[in-house]
Amino acid sequence: MEKQGSTAIVTGASRGIGRAVAERLARAGWRVCVNYRVRRDCAEELCARLTGEGLEAMAFQADVSDRRAVESMVRAARERFGPVGLLVSNAGIAGQMQIQDVTDGDWERYFAVNVKGAFHTIQAVLPDMLHAHRGSIVTVSSMWGLRGASCEAVYSATKAALIGLTRSLALELAPSGIRVNCVAPGVVDTDMVRVLGQETLDALAEQTPLGRLGTPEDIAAAVAFLVGEEAGFVTGQVLTADGGFVV
């Protein structure tokens, strides 16, 4: 995997997809900043395990919807590991609700974390990438951002916004040697989706052409491809990793 810079930041990396991504990047030689909001125990356990294996990782608490917290995180990662060459914007929240039950607070919180969080982290890491005239940014959307989902209008809207942000930034930043791509996972077996219940998860697995749910490692592999040298001519793309759910 090409290391376009020594330092990688993965948001929402204490559990699930972000954790698998952080671990894969660390094993590929990146110095990884593991961002978390609440689960300090999970983030520090991951970093302790990685550093125990001779890899480089640090945990940092920051709510990505808070610009100052994000700027502090990027500054700390830079001071410890050096300029940031890779950002995986993964932090997000999800939930099901009928549109008539969505409050202004619900709407604003979803967009603050899922969209503004990506905006904050991208702006914070760009100076390093622009100075180096290289870098890679991967946003994590969802297949629901491509096709929509009943009772997930707010979540789907935020994930669709990330796709538009990705494509636009790819065009804007390409002259500076910075690639911007997106992964759109399907139903992945994480804590976030287990709240749906086993019956629903079984039904979703049955609806998936490959006949199973995705794993965090499946999505980490997709991210690894997009940041690798094999994808050096790939930018502005949405890689859907959903077992064939959306074709």
Return the structure tokens found at 200. 């629903």
Report how far residue 48's alpha carbon sits from residue 65's, in angstroms, rounded to the nearest whole number: 26
171, burial (CB in 10 Å: exposed 0-12, middle 13-18, buried 19+): exposed
Report how far residue 66's alpha carbon sits from residue 110's, in angstroms, rounded to the nearest whole number: 13
Q: How many Å separate Cα 174 from the centre of its chain?
A: 20
On whether the CB atoms of residues 153 and 170 are closer than 8 A, the answer is no
Choice among 60, 155, 183, 220 that is catalytic: 155
Residue type, 142: S
Report how far residue 155's alpha carbon sits from residue 140's, in angstroms, rounded to the nearest whole number: 13
Alpha helices in the chain (DSSP H): 16-27, 40-52, 67-81, 104-111, 117-132, 144-147, 153-173, 191-194, 198-207, 216-227
Report how far residue 110's alpha carbon sits from residue 216's, in angstroms, rounded to the nearest whole number: 22
- Would you call 230 helix, strand, or coil by DSSP? helix
Respond yes or no: is residue 36 known to be catalytic: no
- Would you call 182 helix, strand, or coil by DSSP? strand
Active site residues: 155
